[in-house]
Amino acid sequence: MTSPAHRSPVPELARGQEDCSRRSLGRPDDDEVPVLEARDVHVHFHGTDSHGRAVTIRALDGVDLALYPGQISALVGESGSGKTTIARLFALIYRPTSGELLYDGTPIRVRGGRAERAYYRNVQLIYQDPFASLNGLKKIRTIISRVVKIHFPRLGRAGIRARAAELLERANMTPTSRYLDRYPTDLSGGQRQRVAIARALAVNPKVLLADEPTSMLDASIRLDVLNLLSDLRESEKVAVMYITHDIASARYLSDRINVMYGGKIIEAGSTESIISAPVHPYTKLLLSAAPDPARYKGSGKPTHEPIADSRPVDNTSDIRGCRFADRCPVAMPKCTSEDLPLFRSIRDSHTVHCWQAEDDADYERASSDRSRTPTNSAKKE
Amino acid sequence: MTLTVPQNKETEAQILDRLDRSPILLDVRGLSVDYVTEAGNIRACDEIELTLKRGEILGVAGESASGKSTLLNALGRLQRMPAATSAGSIWYHPGGDEPPVDLAVLDEEELAPYRWTKVSVVMQSAMASLNPVIRLGEQFTDVIRTHDPRLGEKEALAQAGDLLTMVGISRDRLTAFPFQLSGGMQQRALIALSLACDPDLVLMDEPTTAVDVVMQRQILDQVLAAQERLGFAVVFVTHDLSLLLEISDRIAIMYGGKIVEVGTAARLHHDAKHPYTRALRRAFPPLSEPVRRLSGIPGSPPDLLDLPSGCAFAPRCELAMPVCHERPPELREIPQGRSACFITNGELDEAERARQQAAASGDHAPEGGESA
C-alpha cells in the first residue's frame, strides 16, 4: 500500500531470516502478517543533562512490536518508558535511529507526498487530550468533513455530508443531527474523544494508535470510549495500539499486553498470561502497585508487596544487561554483566527479557538477543 | 529504601469500632458553597453534613464538577471569590475540655493559629504549591518557625530533615530547589511539609493523580505509615474509587454538589446502596476479579446551574421512581453509613416504596441494572 522511496540508508534485512523469533511476539497460531510492525527499533534523542553535557537519550532501545488486524495490543509502563515514542514512531512523527518499520510486511520508506498521505490513511493517531486535539472554532461537521474531503475528494458535497453523519453514528454519537452543528466546547470530554475517534475513522484506517485516550475522561464516560474501541476491533477489524498506565483498563480492553521499561518491551504476552502469570519483576511491581478494588480496606488482604525505591530510569547511559537491575529486588550479578536474555514460553506467545525465566520449565531461551547490542545499531547509523 | 507495607489487618467491624471510640475531630453542618457568576449562583456544595473522627481516613470520591474539591477548599477555608461559603458551620473539636470552634466564621487573623498546626493541605500540583525560587529547607523552616518562633534556624532545619527522611527523601535535598526534584519527590516533599506542625487533619486533593502507579503506591505507603505513627486524620479527595477502597476507613460519594452515600470500603465494595455508587463502582475495571463487559453511566453529569428538582442523579438512574423526580431524597443514616436514595434511605415506608417502584417499572424496562 505504501510506495517506499528508497532514500533511507538502512540496509534492508533479508526477509524471513529472523521470522522464527518474530512470530511468537505476535500470535503463534497462525501465519497472519502483522499490519504494522517494529523490528529492533531504536530511537535516540540528543539532549543535555543537568550539567549541560551532551547526552544521548535512548527513548527506544531495541523494540520489537507487531500489531495484528482485529487485535488490541496494550502498551503499559511508567512515564518515560517510551510508550508515546512508539506511537509517534508509527505515526511517522519520529524516524527510527536504527531498525525497521513494516506496514503489511513491507518496509516503510515514505517521506512526504502521496505515499505519506496513503500511509496516514491507514494509520491514525488518537491523542490523549480531546480538548486540544479538536479545533474549538469549527463545528463538528467541519472537523470531520475536512478529513473526508482531503482523502476522498471525489465524494461530492452530499456524499461528504452523509459520510460525516455515518462516522458520528459509528462512534455512537446519535442522533447525529444533535452533534453535527455543535462546537467542541459544547461537548463533554467523552463526547469530544468520540468525535476524535470518528474523525480517525474517516479514512477507514487499518490501525488506530490510541495514546492514553481515556486518561482525561471521567470514570463514568471512560468505559464508553473503551467499549467503542473494543467494538471497532470486531466491526472494522482494525488493529488498535492502546497506550495506558492503567493496567486494569488494559486488562479489560486488550488481547495482548506489552510492558515497557526504559525504552524496551521487557515482557509481552496474552492479557491473561501477563496478569495471572507475570515473570518480570517490573511487571509484578506494576501489577502490585495498581489499585485493586478486591483489596479494599477491611478485606484483610494486604494491599501489595513491598516496593523498591522508585527512581526514574536513566536511559542516557549505554549499559549492558538490564536497566531495571538497580531497582530490582531479585537482581543477580549476571543481570548487568551479561547481555539481556530473551525467554519464550513453550506453551504460548509469552516472551520476557529476564533471567527469572531461566529455571522456569515453561520457558526456553530464545536465540541471542541482537536488539540489545548498541554496537550493531551504531554500525547501521 | 524499602518501606513497611500497610498491613490492612483490620476487619470492617474493627474499623467501625475504632471510629466509634475515637473522639470527634470535625463536625460539618449544612455547609454550602456557592460560585457567584453572571449566570447566577452555582451551588457547588449543597448542605454538606459530615462527621470526621480523630485519626480517620475519609475518602471523598466523585467525578469532575461533583463538588469534591470545592468541599475540600471550604474545609480548609482556602476558597477565594467567586467561591463563597454561603451557609453552614465547620465545628473543629480541639480535644480535651476545650469547646469546639466554628472554622467557617473565623476571620483570617483568628484562623492563622489553626493553619498548618491543626489543619494542613496537600494539593495536586506540587510544583505549583512549592515556591520555585526558594530552597526546600527554607520553605520548611519558614513554616516551622512561624508556628514555633522559639525554635532556632538550626533546630528547624534538623526537623525539616527528619520530615523529609520520613517520606523517603534524603536530608541533603534540603538545599535543593523544587525543580531539581522529580515530580514524585516534589509531591512527597509537599506531604512532608504538610506534616511539619503535627496537624490533626490533613486535607489532600488528588495528591497522586499526576504521578504514575508505582510512585503513587510509594507516596500512599508513606502517607499511611506517617498517619499510623502520628495519628492525624485525612480527607482524601480523588476520582479514583478503586484507590479509595484500599486506603479509606469511610468513603463519601459526591454527585451534583451533594453527598449521596457514605459507607465503609467493605460495604461500598459489595453492598453499595446508591445507584450512582454502584454505577461508579462498575465504571472501574477490576484487576483480579473476573472481567465482564462493563458499561459507563448513560447521560451526562448534571448542570449545576439547572439542577433537576428531585434527585440530581434521577435523569441517569435506571431505577428512578416518580418521587425521585419530584423532591431530593435526604441523606439518612443506614447501617454502616448513610444514603441519599429513596430506595434505601428509609424515607419512604414499605408500602409507598413498593407503589413507587411499581410505577417506575411501568415506564421503564424491568430493572436489570444489577445483573446486566
- Show Cβ contacts of residue A22 under 8 Å, excluding neighbours closer than 6 positions: A39, A64, A66
For A277-295, what is each residue's pLDDT tens digit?
A: 999 999 999 998 888 888 8
Q: In this predicted structure, what is the pLDDT of residue A320? A: 86
A:B CB pairs within 8 Å? 170
Specify the pLDDT at position A208: 94
Paired with B234 in beta bridges are: B57, B202
| B365 — pLDDT class (breaks 50, 70, 90) | very low
Identify the pLDDT of residue A380: 35
**Nearest partner of A202 among A140, A255, A244, judged by Cα:** A140
Q: Is the pLDDT of residue A58 over 70?
A: yes
Closest CA in chain A for residue B249? A297
pLDDT value at A26 more than 90: no
Residue of A84, A186, A244, A297 to mutate for B, most B C-beta atoms under 10 A: A297
CA atoms within 13 A on the CB side of A322: 27
What local confidence, expressed as pLDDT, does residue A144 receive? 92
Which pLDDT band, with edges at 50, 70 and 90, does A318 fall under?
A: confident
Dump pLDDT digits (tens) for A113-145. Answer: 788 888 888 999 998 888 888 998 999 999 999
Nearest to A300 among B11, B182, B245 (CB): B11
- The beta strand positions in chain A, using DSSP E, are 36-48, 54-67, 72-76, 98-103, 106-107, 123-126, 207-211, 239-244, 256-261, 264-270, 343-345, 351-352, 363-365
Contact criterion met (CB < 8 Å) for B217 and A219: no
| pLDDT, tens digit (0-9, with 9 covering 90-100), for B173-220 | 899 999 888 888 899 899 999 999 999 999 999 888 878 888 888 888
Question: If DSSP codes are grouped into helix, strand and coil, which group holds residue B74?
Answer: helix
Residue B329 domain-assigned (yes or no): yes
Task: Please give the average per-residue pLDDT across B106-132, as a whole number.
Answer: 89
Task: Give the pLDDT confidence score for residue B360 in this predicted structure.
Answer: 80
Per-residue cell: B112: 492563622
Instruction: Check pLDDT > 80 for residue A162.
Output: yes
Residues of B in contact with A50 (CB under 8 A): 180
What is the extent of the structural domain holding B331?
A: 309-372
Provide the shortest C-alpha distance from residue B114 to chain A (in Å): 31
B205, B69 Cβ separation under 8 angstroms:
yes
B162 domain residue, yes or no: no
Tell whether B53 is covered by a domain: no
pLDDT at B366 over 60: no
Kindly tell me if the per-residue pLDDT of A324 is higher than 70.
yes
**β-strand B40-53 against B101-102: which pairing, if any?**
unpaired
CA–CA dist A284, B210 (Å, integer): 22
DSSP state of A314: -
pLDDT band at A194 (very low <50, low <70, confident <90, very high): confident
**How far B1 CA lies from chain A's nearest CA (Å)?**
6
- Are B218 and A305 in contact (CB < 8 Å)? no
Please report which confidence band the pLDDT of residue A10 belongs to, taking 50, 70 and 90 as the band edges.
Answer: very low
User: Which pLDDT score, from 0 to 100, does residue A308 have?
Assistant: 63
CB-based contact (8 Å) between A216 and chain B? no
Asked if residue B334 belongs to a domain, the reply is: yes
Q: How confident is the model at residue B58 (pLDDT cuts 50, 70, 90)?
A: very high
| Residue B368 banded pLDDT, cuts 50, 70, 90 | very low
Closest CA to B282 of B295, B263, B301: B295
Report H helices in chain B: 12-21, 68-75, 108-111, 126-129, 136-147, 153-166, 183-194, 213-230, 241-247, 265-271, 275-282, 322-326, 350-363
Q: How far is CA B235 from the centre of its chain?
A: 4
CB contact under 8 A, A298 and B11: yes
Q: State whether residue B21 is helix, strand or coil.
A: helix
Identify any residues that bridge with A72 across adjacent strands, giving them in sequence order. A240
A280 contact residues in B (CB cutoff 8 A): none
Average pLDDT, chain A: 82
Average confidence (pLDDT) over A94-99: 92
Higher pLDDT pick, A374 / B3: B3
| pTM given for the model | 0.83
Q: Considering its fold, how many domains does chain B have in total?
A: 1
Provide the shortest C-alpha distance from residue A377 to chain B (in Å).
31
% of chain B residues with pLDDT over 70:
95
CATH of domain A29-289+324-380: 3.40.50.300
Asked if A223 lies within 8 A of B242 by C-beta distance, the reply is no
Question: Would you list the domain boundaries of chain A?
Answer: 29-289+324-380
**What is the maximum alpha-carbon separation in chain B?**
74
Q: What is the pLDDT of residue B7?
A: 65
- Residue B277 above 90 pLDDT? yes
Residue A4 confidence (pLDDT)? 39
Domain assignment present for B171: no
Q: Choosing among A218, A257, A274, A286, which should be mutated to test the B contact, i.e. which has the most B CBs within 10 A? A: A218
CB contact under 8 A, B241 and A251: no
Chain A from 49 to 88: CB within 8 A of any B CB:
50, 78-79
Whether B168 contacts chain A with CB within 8 A? yes
Give the up-direction half-sphere exposure of residue A48: CA atoms within 13 A in the CB hemisphere.
4
pLDDT value at residue A15: 32
Cell of B76: 480548609
Tell me the mean pLDDT in the region B47-56. Answer: 93
pLDDT in the model for residue B260 = 94
Average pLDDT over residues A176-204: 87
Which pLDDT does position B362 carry in this prediction?
Answer: 67
What is the structure's pLDDT at B158?
A: 93
pLDDT of A16 higher than 60: no
Q: Is the pLDDT of residue A381 over 60?
A: no
- Grid coordinates representing B104 are 467557617
Specify which residues B185 forms β-bridges with: none
